[in-house]
Amino acid sequence: MILIPAYRPSEQLPRLADELIARGVRRIVIVDDGSGPAYRPLFDSLAARPEIEVLRHAVNLGKGAALKTGINFVLCSDPDVQSVITADADGQHSPTDIIRVAQAATANRDALILGARNFSGDVPWRSRAGNRITRLVMGLVVGHRITDTQTGLRAIPAALLPHLLRLRSRGYEFELDMLIACKHRHVSIVEIPIETIYLDGNRSSHFNPLLDSMRIYFVLARFASVSMLTALLDNAVFALAYWAGSHLALSQSAGRLAALAFNYLTVKKAVFFSGQKHREALIRYLALVVISGFMSYALIRLFVSHLPIGIMPAKLAAETMLFFFNFVVERDWVFRRSGDTPA
């Protein structure tokens, strides 16, 4: 099953469809994402082919919305589908690579297959820079080194498809959300190298470097926002208690307890989307709080004793150092997903 979202496509799309059909593909779903009346003849010609089903949006809703429309159609029309192969409509993916990704999906039925470009040679700056930045951040978020985080050539396993329909993202950030969903659902990610193709400087792409990058990184920002709010609450309570005359250890405990009450449910539900029972996750969470608290206390003591700084700067420095430690432990141990059991 090949799924292609399309918004105001060029003649590259009919050529791609014809080549895929010539190579034996018997079912292609194309989603017209509100391209408008001027593109109606092109989509009508595609719909006339017996191998192609054309779905239409009345207005442009975004690439993610188009992919979800196609995924929903596939699940309703073919509940036994093994995987859905997504490809772009602008000629960036060769028929040979699309077939290779489909073959890789057959050999790895439970994995998300990514067609990974190597970004060598004459690659537009916006594509090269955007992928490098996102790759670094995604390495932290999902704990997996991904060469090409923004590739549109993917083989999505059947088990993941229903969960993607529940994602709120509708634009280019949907493909990033998909990688994060793999982390939450314990779906492995397999990359296979594909050709890097940019036609006419990639002018046919509707990706806006500023607006769409902001949407993509907003998806990543939610992983840090809860921790930042928790840190503000922790430090506010700590400062009030310390300035009121409490001992360092007591002030540290007060800040930790206040932050814990806010942080646990928020992180569990809004960051890691964990479906674990509280009796499983809360014990590990509390263990991390205790360990992290002792580490923070020790670092504050160390900084105050050996550096010319006060308590608050020392605490901020300690918490900053522990931020990534806490994130990785929560991601891979505290809130690891063991299934969809409701909390």
Q: Reading across the β-sheet that carries 154-157, which strands appear in turn? A: 52-57, 28-33, 2-6, 83-86, 154-157, 112-116, 189-193
- What's the confidence (pLDDT) of residue 137? 64
* Helix, coil or strand: residue 55: strand
* Residue 175 Cα distances to 17, 100, 165, 221, angstroms: 22, 20, 12, 16
For the domain 2-209, what is the CATH code? 3.90.550.10
pLDDT recorded at residue 134: 64
Per-residue pLDDT tens over the stretch 223-266 = 677 877 888 888 899 889 888 888 888 888 888 788 888 888 78
pLDDT of residue 319: 84
| The Cα angle at residue 1 between residues 30 and 216, in degrees rounded to 5 | 65
Higher pLDDT, 328 or 9: 9
Tens digits of residue pLDDT in 77-117? 999 999 999 999 988 899 999 999 999 999 999 999 999 98
Give the integer Cα–Cα distance in Å for 7 and 172: 13
Per the CB < 8 A criterion, the answer to whether 19 and 95 are in contact is yes
**pLDDT average, residue stretch 255-281:** 78
pLDDT value of position 299 = 94
Taking the C-alpha atoms of residue 210 and residue 111, their distance in angstroms, rounded to an integer, is 31
Q: What angle do CA 246, 248, 253 make, to 5 degrees?
A: 85
pLDDT value for 340: 38
CATH 3.90.550.10 maps onto the chain at 2-209
Predicted structure pTM score: 0.68
pLDDT tens-digit profile of 21-37? 999 999 999 999 999 99
pLDDT band at 182; cut points 50, 70, 90? confident
Are 29 and 4 a contacting pair, CB within 8 Å?
yes
pLDDT at residue 220, rounded to an integer:
58
Q: Say how many Å lie between the first and final Cα of the chain, rounded.
A: 35
Nearest Cα neighbor of 91 from 27, 6, 178 is: 6
The pLDDT of 172-192, averaged and rounded, is 87
Q: Which of 63-72, 184-193, 204-213 has the lowest mean pLDDT?
A: 204-213
What does the pLDDT read at residue 222? 67
